[in-house]
Amino acid sequence: MNLILFGPPAAGKGTQAKRLVEERGFIQLSTGDMLRAARTSGTELGLRVAAVMDAGSLVSDEIVIALIEEQLQLHAGAPGFIFDGFPRTVAQAEALDALLASHDGGIDCVIRLVVDDSQLTARIARRFAEQGRADDNPETFVKRLAAYNAQTAPLLPYYTARGLIREVDGMASIDEVAAAIDAVLAVPA
Ligand code: AMP
């Protein structure tokens, strides 16, 4: 089963992905986590992407597609993948389809976590106070939300046309969102 957790920054994708990893043994592929790890370890890639991330913009398709390709190869044979924060552009979605097809697979389901902008802004303000992640500051967050609306939201029609989108109310509690995701996954696509 290959699953995309889809939604704007701070919709709860990472939280729900981690639970699915624990409960189902899926592999979480978060491009945001991979890029942050590259920065922390000071690799050449990390240095290249730092300014783009801090500006709240999207890193190039080429870079994130290469990261995903590497992880798919590394975990070939896993029971399932959860794509978290990827794809974020139509070009990334097309590349993902091609990569999965080359492993005899495809996307089975896109779970869209629906959260309104005021709730996202409140969550990010809290996360910024708690964790101090540079790109969570209010000015950068506005840019990340704009990038989502301009470049990532156009993926909704891409997956809707293929009947893959399942909407979940992301404003509910973490446990309620988890239960709603489990209910979606219990129904064959
Ligand atoms: P995230 O933790 O998923 O919100 O990602 C943090 C930042 O990493 C984003 O604001 C982008 O700068 C970059 N990033 C993460 N995933 C992608 C992606 N799929 N495409 C382009 N940039 C990404």
- CB of 32 within 6 A of ligand 1: the answer is yes
Instruction: State which residues form the domain around 125.
Output: 2-186
The CA 55 to ligand 1 mean position distance, Å, reads 11
Q: What is the CATH number of the domain that holds 121?
A: 3.40.50.300
- The C-alpha atoms of residue 2 and residue 71 are separated, in whole angstroms, by 14
3-state secondary structure of 6: strand
Provide the domain count of the chain.
Answer: 1
User: What pTM does this model have?
Assistant: 0.95
Find the 187 Cα to ligand 1 centroid distance in Å.
30
Nearest residue (CA) to ligand 1, atom 2: 32
Whether omega for the bond prior to residue 87 falls within 30 degrees of 0, making it cis, is yes
- The set of catalytic residues is 13, 88, 127, 133, 144
Cβ proximity of 99 and 72 under 8 Å? yes
Angle at 153 between CA 150 and CA 157, to 5 degrees: 125
CA distances from 104 to 99, 107, 167 (A): 9, 11, 26
pLDDT tens digits in sequence order for the chain, 189 residues long: 999 999 999 999 999 999 999 999 999 999 999 999 999 999 999 999 999 999 999 999 999 999 999 999 999 889 899 999 999 999 999 999 999 999 889 999 999 999 999 999 999 999 999 999 889 999 999 999 999 999 999 999 999 999 999 999 999 999 999 999 999 999 866
What residue spans of the chain are helical by DSSP H? Answer: 13-24, 31-40, 44-54, 61-74, 90-102, 117-131, 138-147, 155-160, 174-186
CA 22 – CA 129 distance, rounded (Å):
27
